[in-house]
Structure 1
Amino acid sequence: MSGGGGPRTRRAFLGAVAAVVVAATTVSCAGAAQYYEGTGLHDATVTEVAGDWKSVEGTRVVLRRDGTAVLEKLDGQGFDYDDGWRLSGRGTWRLTDTSGGQTVRLVLTDRTRVDRRPPGTSAETPEPGTPEPDASEPGASGPEAPSTYAWSFHVDRDKRDAPVLFFFCGDPDIGNTYVMERGSAS
């Protein structure tokens, strides 16, 4: 090696290159959801967040000002989304604030129904408008749905400055979001 670099310099250089490759590989395996720190929103109020929220395929969540909630066909969060169950029932909710931003913590305490998404639908390949079979029907398959469950929705604002609720669903490396938008007044 010319220019004054000897074996020690070459080893140091190769070590630095290896460290960069390992770091790049580690970061590329960590998806958006795995290290998400929040929206940074800290100014939403309970009054703003309370109300009727809707998403795809008949999902509806009503957050009442008294801290109670009604859920219809709400899918699981994270990898639970891939299990295909959709829960309905009653529960509680609260608006929390951390350094990363606000979240709505929703807890299902009284499950009244379980539906299932059709086979083949997932966070990566949604098929809007496809009816879901009832979980009690013969042939309904998939992991058993939990009798109670908790979600953490991140609170953000849309372009009109209205609140939006979302959580990550499916594989965290992919970073798919399940978005709830304001429904009709209730």
Structure 2
Amino acid sequence: MVGGSRLRAWKATLGGLMVVLAAPTACAGPYQYYEGTGIHDTTAGEVAGGWENVEGTRVVLRKDGTALLEKLDGQDFDFEDGWRLSGTGTWQLTDDNGGQVVRLTLTARTRAESRPTATATDTSTPEPPPTYAWSFYVDRDQNDELKLFFFHGDPDIGNTYVMTRETGS
């Protein structure tokens, strides 16, 4: 019987060790370790202009580095709060090892509203922030057209908020 209890103890120890080792990756969603699109050839002049998405969001990135935002939702978990911000701000195109990113900062909020399909996880909806910053990844679609996106919601799901060139731009 001594051998059987040692075997059970060894199995329990090994099982516990596997749980401890697996825990750090258990919630590692698609974008938690996202390294970027690998796009490095876009210019600020190409990014400048009007952008929109299917939810009625509109962003104008001006060549002078200023921006106009209309009904832009929060990224990551802030999206779940259901607010949409409008106002003015600044933007810049950055580049790192993973690819290019548009850094957009709302500096003067002119309006805050709720998204019609908001699924706030808390019944007490938090006050929308007076300023906010987004990081849009720069990518290209199958037709080589630019698109901008960020991740929103639960990181395990990997939902993307995609902005395409404004119709007529």
TM-score by length of 2: 0.84
Letter paired with 1:149: Y
Say how many residue pairs are matched.
Answer: 160
Q: Following TM superposition, where does structure 1 have runs of at least 4 consecutive aligned residues deviating by more than 3 angstroms?
A: 13-26, 120-123
1:121 aligns with 2:121: no
- In structure 2, the gaps of 5 or more residues are 1-5
Q: Tell me the distance in 2 between the aligned counterparts of 1:94 and 1:72.
A: 18
SS at match of 2:55: helix
Q: Tell me the distance in 2 between the aligned counterparts of 1:40 and 1:107.
A: 23
The residue aligned with 2:128 is 145
The residue aligned with 2:155 is 172
CA-to-partner distance for each residue in 1:45-95, whole Å, 9 max, x for gaps?
A: 111111110012210000011101000000001111011110000000000
Shift in Å, 1:27:
2.6
The residue aligned with 1:97 is 95
Q: Tell me the distance in 2 between the aligned counterparts of 1:122 and 1:103.
A: 28
- In structure 1, the gaps of 5 or more residues are 1-6, 124-140
Q: Tell me the distance in 2 between the aligned counterparts of 1:185 and 1:63.
A: 15
Shift in Å, 1:35:
1.3
The residue aligned with 1:43 is 41
Q: Percent identity?
A: 64
Contact 2:81 2:118 in 1 (8 A): no
The residue aligned with 1:107 is 105
CA RMSD in angstroms comes to: 2.3
SS at match of 1:57: coil
The residue aligned with 2:143 is 160
